[in-house]
Amino acid sequence: MKFLKISIPLIATSICAFGASPAPSEPSTTWVGGTTNWSDESNWSNGLPSESVSAIFNTMYAQGTKLNGDVYVNDLIFGDAFALGELGNYNFDIEKSLTVKGDLYYSNLRTATYGGIRFVSLNNSKFTIEGDATFEAKNLTDEQKQTYKSGTVDVQIGSAATNYPMFAEFNLNGDLNIIGTSSVSSNVKLAAETVNIGGIVNLSTKNSQFVIMRGSMNNPAYLTNQSWGGLSGIGKLYIESVDWNTAYSTAITANVTLKNTADQTYTGSVDIVNGSNGTYTGTGVINLTMDAANASATQTINLSGSKSFTTVSVKNGTLIYSAPAAAESLTVSGGTLLLSYSDTTQGDLAISGGSFGATMDGGNAKVKSLAYSGGKLVFATDGFYGGLPNSIAVEGKFSKETLEKIVIDFSGLDAESLIGVPAMTLITAGSFEGMSTSVDADEYFVAENLINAIADFAWNGNSLTVAFTQVPEPAALAAIIGALALAVCAIRKRR
């Protein structure tokens, strides 16, 4: 469905229009709310919603809505004047499942300073949206300010501070768009065991917030596995592990896998909010994995703020990563992980496949330790000898855990003009294991993607250096081979 920016007629004429919310696919029906029962036809202006009939919520209600069984609707629209009263919250109690065949759009006015809409899972329920989901905060007009306090959006998918379970599944085939304004926040909190977002998570403004939430009071240890089609924007992503229950401490682990089909960039922040009531605490971790559906896709994450993802892994595609704090560990088994310029020393790196290195912005890839059992260490070519190449700095131990040579990938560097230039440092480490600095470094390292030169690796204390020598001319190479052959023959004759 393509959203058209037109106004929807209001049922309650006392409610001011809240701007341009999207028009639903027709036919549509509007909630009039005599009771709380979604399936009561008298609660709708034009019969019940269905897979082909859209639903509109467009005025102020004191009560919530109860959805029994498997419920289907085409588009689900909250706006122009969906308003939250002094009670603060409006509950959508989902007994079994809710499937939105089209798009979901949500905005609201509020007379209370707290609360919002709550999609509540009553019994490990499922929530599916086959199109896009958009949650948009808006600035109030001067006229609206006479009645309402704000247009802040506060949505919970899975209810916090209750004994209800989290959603068993939340499936969104399209994009998740969380849109704040320069002064008004849009805050979406999600509590579900399994989350599949086929499109991107788009936190478009600094006041766009997406929260992975441990919501239930009867679940001390909460694991959520989430798959997203990418991450973009400048907003805030965080884990909320609030101690809603005084009976025990709580923990939340969120595993987020990015399945990009295209390039995306995120320059917002990530945070872990751990709560405490003085006796019991809530703790959380958020693990990031890049496993792109398209191997050529690049996800760039340059974090602001003061935190990092707990762990970072790459299996497919390219992840360019920078954070003001260290991840506990980095793992590369496929794809490419590039650390962009940062003074932060990241955690322990294990590489068994794929590629690892630094970007071409003049910085270094800094890690606490490095365990190599396969893959490539990459060095960018752009401005390679403009001063220093992007190097890899290992604070502690660099261990070689394979009999194969460590591959140094020069990314297609044409080194002909660098022949005779003094050797320069590629890797430094506190110590080496599985290698001896008293043995020729060429025994441990091999060059790839190098043009018009030969790499000569050497040790300089606890550093690996490289210098470039000329590729022998064909005639000279033939002479060398001939001399070697003669030497072999002479040795055999002596025997």
Q: What is the pLDDT along the chain (495 residues), one digit of tens a residue?
A: 433 332 333 333 333 333 467 888 999 999 998 899 999 999 999 999 999 999 999 876 667 899 999 999 999 999 867 877 666 788 899 999 999 999 999 998 877 767 788 899 998 899 999 999 999 999 988 988 888 888 889 999 987 666 777 899 999 999 999 999 999 999 999 999 999 999 999 999 999 999 998 755 556 678 899 999 999 999 999 887 765 555 666 788 999 999 999 999 999 999 987 766 666 677 889 999 999 999 999 999 999 989 999 999 999 999 999 999 999 999 999 999 999 866 799 999 999 999 999 886 656 899 999 999 999 999 876 656 554 567 899 999 999 999 999 999 998 999 998 999 999 899 999 999 999 999 999 999 999 999 999 999 999 999 999 999 999 876 444 445 555 555 555 555 555
What pLDDT sits at residue 165? Answer: 79
The count of other CB atoms within 10 Å of the CB of residue 416 is: 12
Q: Measured in whole angstroms, how far is the alpha carbon of residue 346 from the centre of its chain?
A: 18
Q: Which helix (H) or strand (E) holds 153?
A: strand 153-157
Residue 329 is predicted with a pLDDT of: 98
CA distance 260 to 228: 8
Question: Backbone phi, then psi, for 493, in 5-degree steps?
Answer: -65, -40
C-alpha span between 233 and 417 (Å, rounded): 41
Q: Quick one: pLDDT at residue 250?
A: 73
Asked whether 184 and 137 are in contact (CB, 8 A), the reply is yes
Burial class (CB in 10 A: 0-12, 13-18, 19+), 13: exposed
8-state DSSP, 24 = P
**350/329 Cα distance (integer angstroms):** 8
Closest CA to 81 of 132, 147, 34, 26: 147
Query: CB of 284 within 8 A of CB of 243?
Result: no
Alpha-carbon distance values, 293 to 130, 290, 297, 315, 333 (Å): 19, 10, 8, 10, 15
Give Cβ neighbours of residue 275 (< 8 Å, ≥ 6 apart).
Answer: 240, 241, 242, 243, 281, 282
* pLDDT given at position 4: 34
Q: What is the pLDDT of residue 399?
A: 98
Residue 391: the pLDDT is 86
